[in-house]
Amino acid sequence: MVKPVGATRLRKAHFGYNPAMAAKIIDGNALAASIKEQVRARSQQLKAEGRVVHLAALLVGNTPAAEMYAKRQAEACADVGIDYELVKLPADARVEQANATIDRLNQDESISGIMVHQPLPQHIDSTALLARISAVKDVEGVSPASLGHLLLGTPLNVPCTALAAVECILSTGVSVRGAEVVVVGASEIVGKPAALLLSDQRATVSICRSATRDLAGHTRRAQILIAAVGKPHFIRAEHVAEGTVVIDVGINRVTLPDGSKKTLGDVEFESVAPKASFITPVPGGVGPLTVAMLLRNAVRSSAAGQKQH
């Protein structure tokens, strides 16, 4: 039996085996809707105060997929009252052109947030371009300065997927302080930032990776488990103790034997859910929250940037 969990905080879960306990599904769509509602109220408030709430997204080149993604993003921004502007450069734009565009957006006081659509054409160094974005306007939280502020424990903007994973954990009401957290996957935009965020909340955090020798030994000790490896059904029942909070960051498109396509998480939901206290589904878990976190960063950037004036 699984019960849906929305934006409401539940009673503190007790760790350890409890035969009466069934996994509660963390409903990412419901949580995202609740956060978007807060973002909508905040952007209205900021605009009423005469502040700019304006996200500029840089798209270099244009594939149908990127155009579609940008269109959905424009709709998501419109939905919560964030002005959105797609800044396009041709696929063969020179590095200097891309740099100059970021510099212009940094200086433009009518822009409160900046993001860059990925992937960039191969001739443009993504890290170097992102490093140009001013930390206050970096709504994706991916520039070196943004990540450095996170490491310093004084975060401005934090990578959205890591925030989404942490938001899922907080929605359960389970106490993070002193909890055993295991993060599987040490990526720059999920594993490492999530580990730092949860360590700052006084969890004991272990970061496992492909070279980890006794993965199940680690994951079975977890009270909170974040799977962010990008391998379909990598985490199975044998990796998880009874009562664990399981956060699945994976979004893996796979082709089934019959030729159809399906999106699978890093966690084998069917076998893990009966043991978990809380679990995110894929799709419908971390994914929708990631978009909501970008919007929340955008209003935060707006408020933070204009505090500085």
Write down the least CB distance from residue 152 to a copy of itself, Å.
Answer: 5
CB closer to a copy of itself, 21 vs 203: 203
Write down the least CB distance from residue 77 to a copy of itself, Å.
Answer: 26
Write down the least CB distance from residue 191 to a copy of itself, Å.
Answer: 9
CB closer to a copy of itself, 130 vs 282: 130
Q: How far apart are CA 22 and CA 18, in angstroms?
A: 9
Write down the least CB distance from residue 151 to a copy of itself, Å.
Answer: 4
- Residue 82 sits at φ, ψ, to 5 deg, of -100, 125
Beta strand 252-255 pairing with 261-264 = antiparallel
CB closer to a copy of itself, 23 vs 163: 163
Residues that bind a copy of itself (CB under 8 A): 127, 131, 135, 143-154, 177-178, 180, 186, 188, 192-193, 195-196, 199-200, 202-213, 218
Q: How far apart are CA 205 and CA 224, in angstroms?
A: 9
The number of residues in the chain equals: 309
Amino acid at 57: A
CB closer to a copy of itself, 199 vs 252: 199
CB closer to a copy of itself, 102 vs 205: 205
Residue position matching structure tokens 């498109």: 253
Which residues, at least 6 apart from 19, have a Cβ–Cβ distance to it below 8 Å? none
Query: In the structure encoding, which two tokens stand for residue 91, read together?
Result: 């696929």
SS3 label, residue 234: coil
Which residues, at least 6 apart from 288, have a Cβ–Cβ distance to it below 8 Å? 28, 29, 31, 32
CB closer to a copy of itself, 5 vs 195: 195
Nearest to 148 by CA among 161, 164, 130: 130
Write down the least CB distance from residue 51 to a copy of itself, Å.
Answer: 23
Write down the least CB distance from residue 199 to a copy of itself, Å.
Answer: 5
CB closer to a copy of itself, 180 vs 242: 180
Nearest to 15 by CA among 194, 261, 236, 181: 181
Write down the least CB distance from residue 307 to a copy of itself, Å.
Answer: 14
Query: In the structure encoding, which two tokens stand for residue 287, read together?
Result: 């994914």
> Which runs of E-coded beta strand occur in 6-82?
24-26, 54-60
Q: Is the peptide bond before 283 cis (omega within 30 degrees of 0)?
A: yes
DSSP category for residue 13: P
